[in-house]
């Protein structure tokens, strides 16, 4: 018999979030969060290039978004799957390279915590992430030296964590509003089975949009043109608005900002915020209605309502949900950490850990997948669905198609995802060609789509004339990246100098002090300036214990200031 404690690799789950990322491990029959070098479980998904060219990830990088916006980036997950590049301190990064740096930091934290090498993990993605975005996530993990054991949809991961804690739920709607994405999932618990009935969402709607709406309203009130504000002043304002948004639940808030030549004040209360956010709140309703329709349920049929994601802390969002469903949502578990805990539970499920063996999860494909065909005389490229949205996965579906004329030599299969009747309005996934035998008549062909539990697709084409079968595994590499581009990413990341993990707490404190200095004025600013000088002097002394005790004391002082 094999001793599991010797052979088993750590069972890890990662929540790679727009705003924060977390890593959890399944140990001693439960999922536990792993702290980073600062002893915190939330690692901001932010990257900054330090003045010496080294890479900072996490809290220090987030503080530097305000002090050094031209060397720092955050919320890059929103651009996963696009060609956007981020220029940081003269270096250029793709969203997946920046995500790889965050994943690499989490990997290091896990290795330091567990004392063993970490090579694989279950990683969560928004349910509504497209095929391309999933592939880029897998590629980001590969760049970080991590094999993806499975991609799990974020709301499904949350459902697993709830399933382990609560035995009483039945039909549940999970409302997951993170920093950059919104997912709605309707599922049913009949433990040990957790069955996802429908998943919908919006990949371009999250807490960041609520902050962006505040920025627009504030600049409009001040009659300022965003293009005329210098980047650092704008970053300070965005940062102050983000903090103001997060404090709004405590009552009306105000901020003061020095920029564009003046010191200005802005006040916000819940009712003004509601009116600024009305268009965003309205956008949250459509996916909820669609998920319920696809699951063939009405709000009355739901037994419970679960809120996940940091942005569900907004009273305006909670109120909208309560009004829509006529009841209060359930939020006993921390919305920030639940997805990572669920992902680690999924890793345990996959490894058939005895404590979790019982739980069985079924998920769905959240969007329709199909091919481009001609419809009647119309040659614009009609979308012919093969796997309809919210089909339980893994699934394999076949549809029969015909060549268009007897002399046709080749047939081109173009694969798309989406819900619109014409392919040009949907998302292109991949294309390939199949040679047709020349038999002098139109031919039938069966196109089979197989969609696996990671949300990845394979296509088989069978020519009925000859029985010939063409299997086409949809390219596992991201569509926009050829082998050369991927090799370049690998080389670029390998050449980077990552800031040493053991000095990160000090670097994070100096970055925080600099940010606090920027936000403050007058006496408070002088005091923070003195702390900064003092801490730099202690750092120069290189006396380890003194550095630690001053760092702890200054952290407490900054916490008291709310800076």
287 binds ligand AMP (CB under 6 A): no
Closest separation in Å from C-beta 12 to ligand AMP: 19
| Spatial separation of the C-alpha atoms in residues 100 and 11, rounded to whole Å | 19
Cα separation, 90 vs 222, in Å, equals 33
Residue 20 within binding range of ligand AMP, rule CB under 6 A: yes
Q: And the tokens for 167?
A: 């035995």
Q: How far apart are CB 400 and ligand AMP at their closest, in Å?
A: 43
Tell whether residue 71 is a contact of ligand AMP (CB under 6 A).
no
Q: Using a CB cutoff of 8 Å and minimum separation of 24, what contacts does 107-110 make?
A: 107/23, 107/144, 107/145, 107/146, 108/501, 109/23, 109/34, 109/35, 109/36, 109/37, 109/43, 109/501, 110/10, 110/12, 110/23, 110/25, 110/34
* 346 binds ligand AMP per the rule CB under 6 A: no
DSSP state for residue 498 in the 8-state scheme: B
The one catalytic residue among 77, 107, 135, 245: 77
Q: How far is the CB of 1 from ligand AMP (least distance, A)?
A: 42
Output 11 or 316, the one with its CB closest to ligand AMP: 316
Euclidean distance between CA atoms 300 and 366, whole angstroms:
23
| Residue 222 buriedness (CB in 10 A; 0-12 / 13-18 / 19+) | middle
Q: Which of residues 507-526 bind ligand AMP (CB under 6 A)?
A: none
Among 10, 14, 16, 19, binds ligand AMP (CB under 6 A): 19
Min CB(339)–ligand AMP separation in Å: 8
β-sheet bridge partners, residue 195: 188, 362
The Cβ of residue 150 has, within 10 Å, a number of other Cβ atoms equal to 19
Taking CB under 6 A as the rule, does residue 208 contact ligand AMP?
yes
Q: Is 15 an annotated catalytic residue?
A: yes
- The vertex-405 CA angle with 402 and 409, nearest 5°, equals 90
The yes or no reply on residue 179 touching ligand AMP (CB under 6 A) is yes
Catalytic residue among 97, 109, 142, 176: 176
Of 19 and 510, which CB lies nearer to ligand AMP in the complex structure? 19
Closer residue to ligand AMP, CB minimum distance, 307 or 447: 307
77 counts as catalytic: yes
Within positions 242 to 281, which residues make up the interface with ligand AMP, using CB under 6 A?
242, 245-246
Tally the C-alpha atoms within 13 A of residue 491's C-alpha that lie toward its C-beta: 6
Q: Is 178 in the site for ligand AMP (CB under 6 A)?
A: yes
For residue 314, the minimal CB distance to ligand AMP (Å) is: 4
* 207 part of the interface to ligand AMP, by CB under 6 A: yes
Active site residue 220: no
Q: How many residues bind ligand AMP (CB under 6 A)?
A: 18
Which of 18, 63, 172, 390 is in the footprint of ligand AMP by CB under 6 A? 18
Provide the mask over 293-322, with x wherever binding to ligand AMP is found by CB under 6 A and - wherever it is not. Answer: ----------------xxx-xx--------
Do residues 314 and 245 touch, judged by C-beta distance below 8 A? yes
Question: Is cis: bond before 192, omega within 30 of 0?
Answer: yes
Give whichever of 158 and 393 is closer to ligand AMP, judged by the CB atom: 158
Q: Would you call 533 a catalytic residue per the annotation?
A: no
Residue 472 makes contact with ligand AMP by CB under 6 A = no
User: 157 or 387, CB closer to ligand AMP?
Assistant: 157
Q: Which residues pair with 265 in a beta bridge?
A: 256
Residue 362: which H helix or E strand, with range?
A: strand 360-365
The answer for residues whose C-beta is within 8 angstroms of residue 225's C-beta and 6 or more apart is 219
Say which residues have a Cβ less than 8 Å from residue 242's Cβ, sequence separation at least 6.
211
Active centre residues (catalytic) = 15, 77, 154, 176
Binding residues for ligand AMP, rule: CB under 6 A, are: 17-20, 178-179, 206-208, 242, 245-246, 309-311, 313-314, 336
């Amino acid at each position: 018999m094999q001793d599991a404690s010797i052979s088993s690799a750590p069972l890890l789950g990662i929540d790679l979030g727009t705003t924060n990322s977390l890593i959890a491990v399944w140990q001693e029959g439960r999922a536990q969060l792993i702290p980073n070098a600062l002893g915190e479980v939330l690692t901001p998904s932010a990257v900054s290039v330090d003045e010496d060219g080294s890479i900072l990830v996490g809290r220090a990088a987030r503080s530097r978004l305000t002090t050094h916006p031209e060397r720092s980036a955050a919320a890059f997950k929103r651009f996963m799957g696009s060609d956007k590049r981020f220029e940081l301190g003269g270096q250029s990064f793709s969203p997946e390279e920046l995500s790889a740096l965050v994943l690499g930091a989490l990997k290091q934290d896990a290795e330091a915590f567990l004392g063993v090498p970490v090579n694989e993990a279950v990683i969560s993605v928004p349910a509504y992430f497209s095929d391309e975005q999933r592939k880029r996530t897998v590629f980001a993990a590969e760049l970080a030296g991590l094999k993806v054991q499975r991609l799990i949809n974020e709301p499904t991961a949350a459902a697993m964590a709830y399933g382990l804690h609560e035995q009483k739920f039945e039909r549940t709607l999970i409302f997951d509003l993170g920093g950059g994405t919104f997912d709605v999932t309707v599922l049913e618990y009949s433990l040990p089975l957790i069955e996802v009935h429908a998943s919908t969402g919006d990949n371009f709607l999250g807490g960041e949009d609520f902050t962006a709406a505040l920025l627009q309203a504030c600049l409009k009130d001040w009659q300022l043109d965003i293009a005329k504000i210098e980047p650092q002043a704008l970053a300070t304002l965005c940062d102050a608005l983000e903090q103001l948004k997060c404090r709004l639940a405590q009552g009306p808030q105000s901020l003061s900002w020095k920029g564009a030549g003046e010191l200005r004040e802005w006040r916000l209360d819940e009712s003004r915020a509601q009116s600024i956010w009305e268009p965003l709140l309205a956008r949250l309703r459509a996916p909820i209605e669609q998920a319920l329709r696809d699951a063939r349920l009405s709000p009355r049929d739901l037994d419970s309502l679960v809120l996940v994601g940091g942005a569900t802390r907004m009273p305006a969002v909670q109120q909208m949900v309560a009004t829509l469903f006529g009841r209060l949502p359930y939020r006993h578990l921390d919305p920030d950490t639940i997805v990572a805990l669920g992902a680690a539970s999924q890793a345990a499920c996959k490894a058939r850990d005895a404590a979790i063996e019982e739980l069985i999860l079924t998920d769905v494909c959240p969007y329709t997948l199909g091919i481009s065909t001609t419809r009647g005389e119309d040659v614009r490229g009609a979308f012919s669905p093969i796997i309809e949205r919210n089909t339980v996965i893994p699934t394999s579906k076949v549809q029969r198609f015909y060549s268009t004329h007897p002399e046709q030599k080749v047939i081109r299969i173009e694969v798309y995802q989406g819900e619109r009747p014409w392919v040009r309005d949907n998302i292109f996934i991949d294309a390939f060609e199949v040679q047709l035998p020349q038999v002098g008549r139109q031919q039938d062909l069966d196109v089979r789509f197989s969609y696996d539990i990671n949300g990845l697709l394979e296509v088989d084409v069978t020519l009925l004339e000859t029985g010939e079968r063409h299997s086409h595994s949809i390219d596992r590499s991201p569509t926009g990246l050829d082998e050369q581009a991927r090799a370049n990413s690998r080389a670029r990341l390998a050449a980077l100098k990552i800031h040493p993990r053991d000095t990160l707490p000090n670097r994070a404190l100096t970055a925080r002090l600099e940010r606090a200095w920027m936000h403050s004025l007058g006496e408070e600013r002088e005091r923070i300036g003195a702390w900064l000088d003092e801490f730099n002097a202690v750092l120069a002394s290189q006396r380890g214990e003194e550095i630690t005790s001053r760092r702890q004391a200054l952290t407490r002082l900054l916490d008291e200031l709310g800076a």
